[in-house]
Structure 1
């Protein structure tokens, strides 16, 4: 049974940093980062149907929102790892917050001009900021305290990411979605000036939420500037690669974690990105009601994070991951084959059971890899590019099946099968690959 206690031999807080100091305030601030990037990701679930309407997009074009954010993870993962090694955790976090804020502010000119391309650029910059934050904050939360409780601590921090899955849909539903939607024939019957006025009004709804978000990010970055954060030191007694980026993949369980994370993130983004459209098409909900069900999904996701932290007191992380993956596969099957509103309920339940997957895969992946923890974290963050690729695959499946949203859920089902394998076998620490 693998656990993060092995990481006690690979990374820890320098004891000299702890004299007369507490780790509580740094941990609380790190938890706030999980919440903030959760807000960004969960607002994307609102942006996809909203900008699809405001910018008159098809299914595949709407997934460019996911592609911009998650492709940025792929592009930024190596630079983020280099920033982490050169400037440390605190400064990397500040850089990530500033990038995040800059991307959010680009939503103002994008909305003013109905410039979908500007939205995409802003989202890409946001993704670069998020990649930098996650590269630093995930491993930092894992080692910021007792090594034996690393998995629990990372899941606790990630619970605040889950809390954002409730807050962001609420903000999006009540401050971005208008509930007004016209058919193609109705749009064609409008005068050019009225049509443009309607579309500009829809697009402008995103400005205030993202301006406020940018101000909060800047305030948090300033706070980080004035708070002392202990740095992590490596104390592994085993031979390591010295943190070589490609050399880190010699750890078989890290390599499998990268694969599992790729498919898990893809599955999560698929479920949330098409949630509102599934609720509208499969259950006949209107836009606002569908948004409210997305809030319920967020509640279940958050409950799953906190419940997972509790269950980890009684079982190993890989066993819990395996059980949750099996249930997620079954729920996807019901969502594909079922009819009526309970299909939406299945998607909400998937939110509960996939909630612990990201932090658990991450923690199992960096377990016992010594000086390779930082480059290993970069690989795991880079694997989030699955959120860019897999939703586009799902959109393609939907378009090829006459805009049938349910058929597309075969894609996340396959993803959860990969996660299931990792929980059963891939997580095991074995001899190095090279």
Structure 2
């Protein structure tokens, strides 16, 4: 790519042949699966903890606020750390920290303190943040730059496989106990009520201990694996000092990641409660949780389709099309009731599919030696998953759950802009 004053011609170069790249990509898919699985479990935790601690929507959304708030706190330090210790060690460290966060669910449930649950989620998310900062740019570097979006979309498909499986896991192991109605709870004695809430809280202990063990095993596997070394190859024009802020497509992309993650998480977080509305489906929580799999499963299917489509169609056009489709579907769900409202909001998952990996890959295009910093900024922007759901929770408390979906609709309008114009490097 030609350079001009104040710009750089930079790229990531990789050592190892195509076979080693294929093996590395195969290993990395396990990480994408695992952090998708862990992230989606929050959609089960929210209605569960809402019941255990008698929370309103705003309070319940503190689950996502603490989880995705970790991205804001940890992402930039993680970018510097990964630049110092390398992608592979960053992956191992991230897995260990995430495992520690899962272990913290045991004392949180035993003591039945909501703040401890939120602290455990923060530590878990800190580990996942380091994984994201390490793995996403690593995948884009393992092959040609012009197919980076397709490659990252394919690995993200396995992230969606994790989010598709997680609702069934959570519905079976966490939401399987019978949930008492308000009248039944009111009839319980203080002792019976305390025992009921203690039993509900303890439902998360065994699942998260198992997840901690799985994360520790993965950390051992990646510590043992020999992965291709990825090193920056930069050529800086003399007399210029390049920074991430000199790349508007990266900055616009960070806003896009903020709004996309916020919209995706806000929708997924409220689906169980949305489907429980009499005007939508009137479902019980455990049954509604299973339908979340259609939302995340749609994203998985869409990523496989998108990875193929983007071999032929530009990533920018595909992104803009999917964002526009999401706007139409959400508007339809807000304006209707019953099965139409239910299935149109679920269908948003299909069009969410390619958005995160596509925005991410477009945003770090041409950054070269700044790729780690750019990746850190983009992962920092994942804090949208903390703020947008919290704001939608406030809207739901103030104006009603269905109308609150106007907020993610506005987020997708911006993403359409990014696909059409904001993603073009200058």
Instruction: Name the TM-score, length of structure 1 as normaliser.
Output: 0.93
**1:320 and 1:288, CA in 2 relative to 1: closer, same or farther beyond 3 A?**
same
How far apart in 2 are the matches of 1:376 and 1:66? 24
Structure 1 residues 411, 11: closer, same or farther in 2, change over 3 A? Answer: same
Given that 1:243 and 1:374 are in contact with CA atoms closer than 8 Å, whether structure 2 keeps it comes out as no
How many angstroms apart in 1 are the aligned matches of 2:17 and 2:383? 40
What is the aligned counterpart of 2:31 among 30, 33, 39?
33
1:149 positional shift: 2.1
- Cα distance between partner residues in 1 of 2:168 and 2:311: 32
2:368 maps to 370
Q: SS in structure 1 opposite 2:86?
A: helix
1:373-412 equivalences in 2 (<5 Å): 373-401=371-399, 404-412=400-408
Residue equivalent to 2:5 = none
Would you say the 8 A contact 2:9–2:235 is kept in 1?
A: no
Q: Which residue of 1 aligns with 2:12?
A: 11
Q: Is the 8 A contact 2:80 2:372 kept in 1?
A: no
**Rounded Cα–Cα distance in structure 2 between residues aligned with 1:400 and 1:69:** 24
Aligned to 1:419: 415
- Deviation beyond 4 Å, 4+ runs, structure 1: 240-244
Q: For structure 2, which runs of at least 5 residues remain unmatched after alignment?
A: 1-7
SS of the residue 1:274 aligns to? helix
In the alignment, which of 172, 191, 194 is matched to residue 192 of structure 2? 194
Equivalent residues of 2:56, 2:397 under 8 A apart: no
1:302 equivalenced with 2:297 (yes/no): no
SS in 2 for 1:11: strand
Deviations 1:128-155 (A, max 9, x none): 1111000010000111123332111111
Contact 1:114–1:203 at 8 Å: present in 2 too? yes
SS in 2 for 1:10: strand
Could you say which residue in structure 2 is the equivalent of 1:337?
Answer: 335
State the alpha-carbon separation in 2 of the partners of residues 272 and 203 from structure 1. Answer: 22
Comparing 109-118 with 353-362, greater Cα deviation is found at 109-118
Q: How many residues align?
A: 417
Counterpart contact for 1:8–1:148, Cα < 8 Å = no
| 8 Å CA contact retained: 1:34, 1:160 | yes
Structure 1 residue 182, shift from structure 2 partner: 2.7
Is the 1:240–1:370 contact (alpha carbons within 8 Å) kept by the matching residues of 2? Answer: no
Q: Which residue of 1 aligns with 2:163?
A: 165
Q: CA deviation at 1:183?
A: 3.3
C-alpha separation in 1, matches of 2:383 and 2:106: 26
What is the RMSD computed on CA atoms of the aligned residues?
Answer: 1.8
Name the residue aligned to 2:3.
none
State the distance in 1 between where 2:239 and 2:43 align: 40
